Structure 1
Amino acid sequence: MRLLIVGAGSTGGYLGARLAQAGRDITFLVRPTRALQLRETGLRIQSAHGDATLYPTLVTAGEIAQPYDAVLLAVKGYQLANVLEDIAPAVGPETMILPVLNGMGHMETLARRFTKHNLVGCTLKVATVLEDDGRIVQLSPMQDFAFGELDGGVTSRIEALDAFFRDANIGARLSRVIGREMWEKWILLASVGAITCLTGGTIGEIEACTGGASFALQLLEEIVTIVKVVGEPPSDTFLHLTREQLTAKGSPFVSSMFRDVQRGRPVEVEEIIGALVRHAGEAGIATPLLSAAYVKLLVYQHKVR
């Protein structure tokens, strides 16, 4: 199986490095500046699971000659529109597209540009950051990469993908309920992002404040209410674990969005927060806390762009 990874940032670079270490056929589609950096210093990852420096196969836009078996999209949501034409030569009728993007709007965008048959659902939970010197640093040992057919079926292509990812040290697992898991991932991302960015603190710092835990739970409830109307309801187990995670005493947990704000980088405010606020408005659901987080992040985004 030949896999094209679009983007060699914190997520795509980490996944691709681990897959390349496992001997898989990996090619990265990157911008010319990132290609130059990778050719000079290598793809470097720093992780509790082991450090590595690799010199992977790279292509830039316009250099793709034929379709790949699978394309893993590891770009920010606001970059998606700009890469659709770049990846078009890599996508054939049977190419699997695995979008490691946040929210759910990208699924409709990809289905319109290609086909729904091309799409495979996936969610990634890994805390990594791309440092200014090009290193990718994994911030915690946790890594969970779920994937599966959107209808829950087990097809020959998904079994081939499962074999491809197996033993690659990326926490890969085949899911029969990937649609629900994608909505659950969005709930978690939006909750942690809104809670930490609105207050400017870690989960533990927020919990330590008077009313902090109830604030976090109220914001979570706003998001869950939206998803129950417009998406797939989360499982009781997910909700129980998420409530514990958002109110854990002393927790240093923050969202990747919060880390990007601290570094002065653009954030996926529309994809993670704005889309939920719009869904809520269309459904007549009041979301005072989520809307406040949305406005704050829009003000920030307007300053950094």
Structure 2
Amino acid sequence: MRILVVGAGAIGGYFGGRLIEKGEDVTFLVREKRKQQLDQNGLLIESIYGDLKLKPKTILSGDNTDPFDVILVSTKAYQLKGSMESFHSYVNENTMILPLLNGYAHLDKLVSEFGEERVLGGLCFIESTLDNSGKILQTSPVHELVFGERSGEKTKRILKLRDSFSGAKATFTLSENIEQEMWHKYLFITTVAGITSLFRSPIGPILEREHGLKTIEKLLNETAAIMREIDAPIDVHIKEIQLKRIMGLSYGMKSSLQRDMEKQQPTEADHFFGYLLQHAKEKGIESPVLLAIYANLAVYGAGLFSLK
């Protein structure tokens, strides 16, 4: 299958690199600066599963090439509009679009632009970052990409995609319940990203303090209540499951949103928290912790733009 990876950052670059390592036909759609970096230095991955130096195929938006079988989208939510414009011409009636963004609001935008039948469900679990030289650093044992038809069906095309992913040196998992898995991760990432950005701290010191743990529990309760009210398919015991998972995180774990703040970069505040708060407002659900997190990020964002 011909696979297009939109961007060659910490997520798309890592999973795309593992597919190239396996021998799959992968092309990266990148901006001019990243293309020059990749052309000059290659795609560099430093990983506990083995380092890679690859010479990937790259294109710029507007380059003339045939449509792709699969388009893997791993951009930030605030980059999605520009990303859709950049790969629009590479989509045909048979193209599968596999988004790896956290949250859920992006699915509505992709479906609206490309049609219900082209958009798969997807998510990933990985701790990776891009250093100043453009090298991808992957540091934890987890490097899993989960994908599937949003209907849960094992269609001919999804089985073909599974075969393309099979054998790569990362975990690619076909899910028959991808919608629920996406909502479960949304609950997890909302809690972890929200609490670490609010306290400006890794998760460990927050968990050590009684009021830190209680705030996490309140946030889980608020978020799950909103999700249930809008009929999201979350498990009845998901709050307990996610709390146990959060308490098992490494002491120094920081969310990617917190790292974005430390780098003075934009955040996905609207995509994660604004989306949920809009539903909470419509349903009359009080969500004080979620609101405090969103207000904190709004103040940060206002200060960020005032520096420019």
Return the TM-score normalized by structure 2: 0.95
Stretch deviating more after TM superposition (145-154 or 232-241): 232-241
Equivalent position of 2:84 in the other structure: 84
For residues 66-77 of structure 1, the aligned pairs below 5 Å read 66-77=66-77
Stretch deviating more after TM superposition (212-221 or 2-11): 212-221
Equivalent position of 1:202 in the other structure: 202
Equivalent position of 2:48 in the other structure: 48
Equivalent position of 2:243 in the other structure: 243
Equivalent position of 1:145 in the other structure: 145
For residues 176-187 of structure 1, the aligned pairs below 5 Å read 176-187=176-187
CA distance in 1, matches of 2:97, 2:64: 16
Equivalent position of 2:32 in the other structure: 32
Tell me by how many angstroms 1:239 deviates. 3.3
Equivalent position of 2:253 in the other structure: 253
For residue 285 of structure 1, give the secondary structure of its aligned residue in structure 2.
Answer: coil
CA distance in 1, matches of 2:184, 2:29: 29
For residues 1-305 of structure 1, the aligned pairs below 5 Å read 1-236=1-236, 238-248=238-248, 251-305=251-305
CA distance in 2, matches of 1:98, 1:44: 23
For residue 102 of structure 2, give the secondary structure of its aligned residue in structure 1.
Answer: coil
Q: What RMSD over aligned residues (CA atoms) do the two structures have, in Å?
A: 1.5
Tell me by how many angstroms 1:245 deviates. 2.7
CA distance in 1, matches of 2:156, 2:207: 47
For residue 150 of structure 2, give the secondary structure of its aligned residue in structure 1.
Answer: coil
Partner amino acid, structure 1, of 2:90: A
CA distance in 1, matches of 2:164, 2:299: 43
For residue 88 of structure 2, give the secondary structure of its aligned residue in structure 1.
Answer: helix
Partner amino acid, structure 1, of 2:274: G
Tell me by how many angstroms 1:85 deviates. 2.1
Tell me by how many angstroms 1:133 deviates. 1.1
Are the counterparts in 2 of residues 73 and 98 from structure 1 also a CA contact under 8 Å?
A: yes
Distance 1:171 1:237, change over 3 A: farther
Are the counterparts in 2 of residues 213 and 246 from structure 1 also a CA contact under 8 Å?
A: no
CA deviations 1:32-53 (Å, max 9, x no partner) are 1110111111111111111111
Distance 1:186 1:231, change over 3 A: farther
Q: Identity over aligned residues, as a percent?
A: 36
For residue 186 of structure 1, give the secondary structure of its aligned residue in structure 2.
Answer: helix
Tell me by how many angstroms 1:253 deviates. 2.5
CA deviations 1:135-161 (Å, max 9, x no partner) are 111131212211111111000000000
Distance 1:190 1:64, change over 3 A: farther
Tell me by how many angstroms 1:185 deviates. 1.1
Tell me by how many angstroms 1:64 deviates. 3.8
Distance 1:249 1:192, change over 3 A: closer
Stretch deviating more after TM superposition (103-112 or 239-248): 239-248
Stretch deviating more after TM superposition (234-243 or 89-98): 234-243
Are the counterparts in 1 of residues 207 and 213 from structure 2 also a CA contact under 8 Å?
A: yes
Are the counterparts in 1 of residues 220 and 239 from structure 2 also a CA contact under 8 Å?
A: no
For residue 125 of structure 1, give the secondary structure of its aligned residue in structure 2.
Answer: strand
Distance 1:142 1:249, change over 3 A: closer
CA distance in 2, matches of 1:131, 1:282: 41
CA distance in 1, matches of 2:146, 2:236: 19
Stretch deviating more after TM superposition (279-288 or 235-244): 235-244
CA distance in 2, matches of 1:169, 1:304: 39
Tell me by how many angstroms 1:210 deviates. 2.9
CA deviations 1:184-239 (Å, max 9, x no partner) are 11111111011111111222201111322111111111111111112423225643
Are the counterparts in 2 of residues 183 and 231 from structure 1 also a CA contact under 8 Å?
A: no
Are the counterparts in 1 of residues 264 and 304 from structure 2 also a CA contact under 8 Å?
A: yes
Tell me by how many angstroms 1:177 deviates. 0.3
Show structure 1 runs of 5+ residues with no match.
none
Are the counterparts in 2 of residues 124 and 144 from structure 1 also a CA contact under 8 Å?
A: yes
Stretch deviating more after TM superposition (268-277 or 252-261): 252-261
Stretch deviating more after TM superposition (259-268 or 235-244): 235-244
CA distance in 2, matches of 1:126, 1:45: 13
Show structure 2 runs of 5+ residues with no match.
none
Q: How many residues matched?
A: 305
